[in-house]
């Protein structure tokens, strides 16, 4: 979903006003801390520390600490030399938090040692996110702390609108960010998506643990759209929706060493939902384990979509365990009763060395568009066995509007 700058700024201002009127005391902390910082400057190379508790944040799990965090960020951002924003041990409750750049500090690190708890009142989230890191370059967010979206209080509202997707706030979004890393943290019970990379480049998500119940709605682990050079690696994701969804407008996305499940698997798409979407080029998913999910390696596009390309896609060295649709291209996503073909052209796709078990009989299902058939689809060394309960039908592959090239082992047997 695209949010206008205007709305975001307004939200930040409103929140700011609300909190500033709550206590001038909080506001004065910031000033004091900045003045009380000469110590760090005497140690060459050491980062100046901006601890949110020195700006009014309280580790008591109750006090609203968003403005304190924003003030600490602003001080860190505007400083010069290396700076570190610290969220220390304890539980900090916060509504919408915008960490905005550009910043003069370099490098700028955010260290999450404790736990951030999202407010549970949904009316406090007017911008579609909880924490936004935006217009920054070279920011690293790390630490063994937890970002807890407290989504359990709001999942019942997930499909209250016309559309089930994108209604509840994403826990942490990078937008218009460059060369940023997020690592080592736990992201728990997002209200909506857990993390999102939007209109950004050179972003790395590493060594994260992303967890929500398997039946929580639309709680994608990582969603990436309109971005370049994004990596997700060494990460464990189990949620109620896609572990990773790679949306429109992405170039050069690499997913490695991800353990996924429960959830809906690792998906490219859904593509072609809205006008103005742009192509997906170059996605590699390698050395991953997908366990107990409804889909494994998936490409999905909407029926009746605008014209779009999805090309240069590799799913390689993947272990499936009890996955419902281990290998699936679905170009009729969301078609319901209305029909109509997808105009998303899928080409240059390789499914290579995919092993394990399937709980559905049709373990390989390539259902391409009749108006723009899939091209250059390769299946090499596919070795799946049936582990489900269904007794009807045979263990098989389905191919529609695609003529894949097969090589090596094929279990289930290649489609005729
Ligand atoms: C990217 O950011 C890191 C700090 O996180 C910095 O060390 C590195 O030089 C930056 N790379 C580029 C190409 O700007
Ligand atoms: C991964 O993150 C955990 C903290 O959540 C940390 O203890 C561990 O050292 C990290 N692993 C690597 C390889 O950095
Ligand atoms: C793709 O992204 C990776 C980082 O994830 C980067 O190292 C590589 O240079 C990029 N490739 C191209 C062709 O830009
Ligand atoms: C594959 O992933 C596993 C753990 O997930 C790791 O130990 C191994 O080194 C990875 N192999 C390659 C070739 O990256
Ligand atoms: C899949 O998950 C089950 C249950 O959590 C676990 O016992 C099993 O080892 C996992 N399999 C793989 C391949 O990771």
- Ligand nearest to the Cα of 238, by number: 5
* Residue 233 included in any domain: yes
Total residue count of the chain as it appears in this document: 416
Computed over every residue of the chain, the mean pLDDT equals 89
The set of long-range contacts for 157-165, using a CB threshold of 8 Å and a minimum separation of 24, is 157/122, 158/192, 158/217, 158/218, 159/217, 164/217, 164/218, 165/218
Confidence band, pLDDT 50/70/90 cuts, at residue 277: very high
Q: SS3 of 155, please?
A: helix
Asked whether the bond before 5 is cis by omega within 30 degrees of 0, the reply is no
Atom of ligand 4 nearest to the CA of 234: 5
* Residue 4 included in any domain: no
Q: What is the pLDDT of residues 23-55, one digit of tens each?
A: 333 333 333 334 334 334 335 679 999 999 999
CATH number at residue 196: 2.160.20.10
Catalytic residue, candidates 220, 241, 279, 330: 241
- The mean pLDDT of 66-88, rounded to a whole number, is 98
User: Can you give the pLDDT at residue 161?
Assistant: 55
Residue nearest ligand 2's atom 10 by CA = 184
Count of domains observed in the chain: 1
Residue 154 has pLDDT above 80, yes or no: yes
Catalytic residue, candidates 242, 264, 303, 330: 264
Confidence band, pLDDT 50/70/90 cuts, at residue 6: very low
> Whose CA is closest to 386, among 293, 323, 327?
323
* Residue 300 included in any domain: yes
User: Can you give the pLDDT at residue 18?
Assistant: 37
Q: SS3 of 154, please?
A: coil
Q: At what angle do helices 66-78 and 24-35 cross, to 10 degrees?
A: 30
User: Can you give the pLDDT at residue 305?
Assistant: 85
* Residue 88 included in any domain: no
| Residue range of the domain that includes 194 | 114-122+129-411
* Residue 379 included in any domain: yes
Phi and psi dihedrals of 24, rounded to 5? -70, -20
* Residue 16 included in any domain: no
Distance 313 CA to ligand 1 centre (A): 28
140 CB near ligand 1 (under 6 Å): yes
User: Can you give the pLDDT at residue 401?
Assistant: 96
Helix ranges, 254-389 (H): none
Lowest mean pLDDT among 104-118, 281-295, 335-349: 335-349
Q: What is the pLDDT of residues 204-250, one digit of tens each?
A: 999 999 999 999 999 999 999 999 999 999 999 999 999 999 999 99
Pair 261, 243: CB distance under 8 Å = yes
Share of the chain above pLDDT 90, in %: 81
* Residue 290 included in any domain: yes
* Residue 272 included in any domain: yes
Q: What is the pLDDT of residues 335-386, one digit of tens each?
A: 654 667 899 999 999 999 999 999 999 999 999 999 999 999 999 999 999 9
Active site residue 264: yes
């Amino acid at each position: 979903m695209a949010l206008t700058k205007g709305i975001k700024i307004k939200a930040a201002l409103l929140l700011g006003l609300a909190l500033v009127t709550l206590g001038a005391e909080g506001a004065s902390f910031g000033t004091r801390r900045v003045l009380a910082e000469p110590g760090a400057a005497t140690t060459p190379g050491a980062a100046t520390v901006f601890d949110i508790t020195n700006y009014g944040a309280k580790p008591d799990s109750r006090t609203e600490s968003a403005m304190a965090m924003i003030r600490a960020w602003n001080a860190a951002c505007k400083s010069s030399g290396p700076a570190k924003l610290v969220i220390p041990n304890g539980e900090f409750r916060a509504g919408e938090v915008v960490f905005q750049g550009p910043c003069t500090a370099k490098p700028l690190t955010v260290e999450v040692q404790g736990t951030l708890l999202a407010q549970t009142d949904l009316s406090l989230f007017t911008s579609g996110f909880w924490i936004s890191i935006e217009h920054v370059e070279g920011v690293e967010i790390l630490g063994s702390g937890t970002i807890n979206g407290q989504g359990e209080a709001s999942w019942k509202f997930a499909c209250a609108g016309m559309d089930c997707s994108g209604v509840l706030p994403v826990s942490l979004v990078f937008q218009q960010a460059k060369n940023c890393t997020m690592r080592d943290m736990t992201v728990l019970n997002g209200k909506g998506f857990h993390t999102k990379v939007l209109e950004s480049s050179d972003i790395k998500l590493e060594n994260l643990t992303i967890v929500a119940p398997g039946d929580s709605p639309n709680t994608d682990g990582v969603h990436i759209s309109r971005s370049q050079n994004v990596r997700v690696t060494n990460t464990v994701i189990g949620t109620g929706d896609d572990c990773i969804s790679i949306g429109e407008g992405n170039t050069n996305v690499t997913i490695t060493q991800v353990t996924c499940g429960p959830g809906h698997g690792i998906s490219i798409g859904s593509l072609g939902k809205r006008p103005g979407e742009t192509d997906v080029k170059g996605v590699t998913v390698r050395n991953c384990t997908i366990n107990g999910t409804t889909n494994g390696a998936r490409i999905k596009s909407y029926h009746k979509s605008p014209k779009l390309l999805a090309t240069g896609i590799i799913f390689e060295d993947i272990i499936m365990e009890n996955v419902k649709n281990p290998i699936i291209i679905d170009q009729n996503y969301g078609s319901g009763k209305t029909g109509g073909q997808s105009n998303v052209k899928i080409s240059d796709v390789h499914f290579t060395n995919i092993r394990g078990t399937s709980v559905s009989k049709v373990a390989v299902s390539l259902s391409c568009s009749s108006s723009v058939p899939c091209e250059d689809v390769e299946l090499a060394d596919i070795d799946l066995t049936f582990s489900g309960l269904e007794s009807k039908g045979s263990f098989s592959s389905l191919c529609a509007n695609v003529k894949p090239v097969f090589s090596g082992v094929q279990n289930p047997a290649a489609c005729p």
